[in-house]
Amino acid sequence: MDLIKRVQDYYNWTLTLTDPRSKGWLLVETPWPTLCGIIIYLTSVYLGPKIMRNRKPFKLNNLLVVYNLAMAALNFYIFWQLLTASLRLNYSIFCEPCRQVWTPDEMQIVDAVWWYYFSKLLEFSDTLFFILRKKDNQLSFLHIYHHSTMFAFWWIGIKWVPSGSTAYPAIVNSFIHVLMYTYYGLAAIGPQMNKYLWWKRYLTIIQLIQFSGALILGFNGLRIDCEFPLWMQYTLCGYMVSFLVLFGRFYVNAYIDDHKQRQKEKHKEKLLANNNEETIKDKNVIVNGKKYE
């Protein structure tokens, strides 16, 4: 009971540090909507494949085209709102304090950060569509970790630090999501689009660059003693390290190891073809001047 009281007291103290500009906004006031969303998401991940086990996969191509292109449009809106306001405010990419001011440009950033947080709830649909289409191989630890934690961390962002240096990770990530959802929207149209989708591999490379850049900026903020919440800087650095490890492993498995495996298979096929040719030649015998096979 003493531990519970101390946790409650600590949480009540943190509430005195929240940003008043997002007070009362949808899903922001208490952690319960976010926690319930994550619990429902994780429960769906656990139960969904079991429910679908003996059912036929749904064909959702038309829905996927609409969903992915709509998400690309939403992320472009977020990207543009954050970028234009931060440029007008001359935000520094290296360190920008979160000032609790109510100017139109600052409120444009706060509003866009809320939409960015809300988009993480909408992105739970990515996993739902995998389950309904019985693409269980896509339900990796990376996928589930990424979706569940992003929703939680950006609730913290919109409630405590909805502007300042918070803007830049959202700017970069929302732009990458424009590319990503555009890719998946085009892929859902059908196999006739495959010749235009050669750039999937580069999406992962861009994401790795994003995480590396965010980690460098996070360490730099600690080095220069940036006027931004210290706990947020440490959280950012730790979170980016986890993404670098997980996405780096995914890249190695999906592209480097897979490429090596394909090369080995091609080499085996070539050797097998050569051996077959040699076998055919060996079977060609000449008897009394006549050739027999």
Query: pLDDT by residue (tens digit) across 38-97?
Result: 999 999 999 999 999 999 999 999 999 999 999 999 999 999 999 999 999 999 999 999
Q: Which of the pair, 108 or 204, is modelled with greater confidence?
A: 108
110 domain residue, yes or no: yes
235 domain residue, yes or no: no
86 domain residue, yes or no: yes
If you average pLDDT over residues 122-146, what whole number do you get?
A: 96
269 domain residue, yes or no: no
95 domain residue, yes or no: yes
What's the domain count of the chain?
Answer: 1
Question: Is residue 1 over pLDDT 70?
Answer: yes
| Catalytic site residue from 143, 146, 147, 259 | 146
Question: Is residue 224 over pLDDT 80?
Answer: yes
Residue 83's pLDDT is what?
98
Q: What is the 3-state secondary structure (H, E, C) of the chain?
A: CHHHHHHHHHHHHHHCCCCHHHCCCCCCCCCHHHHHHHHHHHHHHHHHHHHHCCCCCCCCHHHHHHHHHHHHHHHHHHHHHHHHHHHHCCCCCCCCCCCCCCCHHHHHHHHHHHHHHHHHHHCHHHHHHHHHCCCHHHCCHHHHHHHHHHHHHHHHHHHHCCCHHHHHHHHHHHHHHHHHHHHHHHHHHCHHHHHHCCCHHHHHHHHHHHHHHHHHHHHHHHHCCCCCCHHHHHHHHHHHHHHHHHHHHHHHHHHHHHHHHHHHHHHHHHHHHHHHHHHHHHHCEEECCEEEC
Residue 87's pLDDT is what?
97
147 domain residue, yes or no: yes
Q: Is 267 a catalytic residue?
A: no
Query: pLDDT by residue (tens digit) across 160-203?
Result: 999 999 999 999 999 999 999 999 999 999 999 988 898 888 88
Q: Which of the pair, 84 or 211, is modelled with greater confidence?
A: 84
Q: Which domain holds residue 95?
A: 19-198
